[in-house]
Amino acid sequence: MTATAWLFDESTESAVRGSEEREPTAPPLLKTPNPELQTRVGLLRASLAGTAAAKVMNATELVRALAKERRDETIPTTLSAFDALLGGGLPRGKMVELIGSRRTSGRFSIALSALAAATSMGEAAVLIDLGDHLDPRVAEENGVDLRRVLWIRPKTLKEAVMSAEMIAATGFQLVVLDLGVPPLRGRRVPDAAWVRLARTAEAHGTALLVSSPYALTGTASEAVIKGSGARALWIDARKAPRLLEGVTVSLVLEKHRHRKPDARATLTLAMLP
């Protein structure tokens, strides 16, 4: 610890002593709102009815409007077929469940696309990887900015759901919960855990994507999309050796709270160059 001593002369000491003897002055009172001014502002806003009245707001209204606008946004995955089923992308403040076999649904590719889209927008994202299937090199080649990704590797399903709930409450804008392949590690969690997770995402405006081999979230999710029927696309099937161009996956909207279910789309996943 270092202490600094200051040298005072007689004049400085007397000035300090004099300031200590003076009584402290009360801070100036804040000005009360001017009723006449408030009335004039109200009349001005009323005169703009039907024109610019909706755009005239005070500071509190502006903060609320910006918060609501941000909550209403979506995070697109840049996969047009998947985003179209959801009305534009992963909705903020909602939980979307993507189900299907790991080999035939393209689940992990969709999860990587969501992470790449979010991090390219400057958002911080989380991958909760229960199956421990992430290859950082492949993720980076798919456009994921690893500097903006928190990678969590839980041991059981219960730990994975608890991690998602805790991390969604910290302000991350995208949380991807990938549950790997069956059999899932650990027992199934109660339905109440999924409800708490959905409420946490809604309270903090977090877009939550749950990637699972089969439906688990029940009524807590905003939408459920099933992927299946992956088929290989060859550049020229008549020539040998054949070169793989990509994979097509069939998507079905099995449930949505605000859209008609049973909508279908075909997703094409291209191979990396």
- Rounded CA gap, 196 and 192, in Å? 6
Confidence of residue 65 (pLDDT cuts 50, 70, 90): low
Work out the average pLDDT over 223-242.
83
Q: Report whether 165 contacts 196 (CB < 8 A).
A: yes
DSSP state, residue 8: -
E strand or H helix that includes residue 85: helix 80-86
- Rounded CA gap, 100 and 239, in Å? 32
- Which segment of 58-67, 170-179, 226-235 scores lowest on mean pLDDT? 58-67
Going 183 to 185 to 190 to 191, the CA torsion angle's sign is negative
Is it the case that residue 250 has pLDDT exceeding 90? yes
Is it the case that residue 29 has pLDDT exceeding 60? no
- Rounded CA gap, 85 and 28, in Å? 59
CB atoms within 10 A of CB 258: 9
Domain residue ranges in the chain: 74-270
Residue 48 sits at φ, ψ, to 5 deg, of -95, 10
pLDDT above 90 as % of the chain: 56
Q: Report whether 119 contacts 77 (CB < 8 A).
A: no
Fold of 74-270: Rossmann fold (3.40.50)
Confidence of residue 66 (pLDDT cuts 50, 70, 90): low
Q: Which residue has the higher pLDDT, 207 or 18?
A: 207
Work out the average pLDDT over 239-262.
87
pLDDT tens digits for 185-226? 777 899 999 999 999 999 999 999 999 999 999 999 999 999
Distance of CA 6 to the CA centre of its chain: 54
Q: Is the pTM of this model over 0.85?
A: no
Is it the case that residue 57 has pLDDT exceeding 70? no
Amino acid at 140: E
The per-residue pLDDT of the chain, averaged, comes to: 83
Confidence of residue 47 (pLDDT cuts 50, 70, 90): confident
Q: Is 134 helix (H, G, I), strand (E, B) or coil?
A: coil
Q: Report whether 221 contacts 255 (CB < 8 A).
A: yes
Measured distance between the N- and C-terminal CA atoms of the chain, rounded to whole angstroms: 60
Query: What local confidence, expressed as pLDDT, does residue 243 receive?
Result: 79
Listing DSSP states for 144-212 in one string gives --GGGEEEE--SSHHHHHHHHHHHHTTT-SEEEEE--SSSPSSPPPPHHHHHHHHHHHHHHT-EEEEEE
Helices 191-204 and 157-168 sit at what angle, rounded to 10 degrees?
20
Residue 122, both tokens? 């400057």
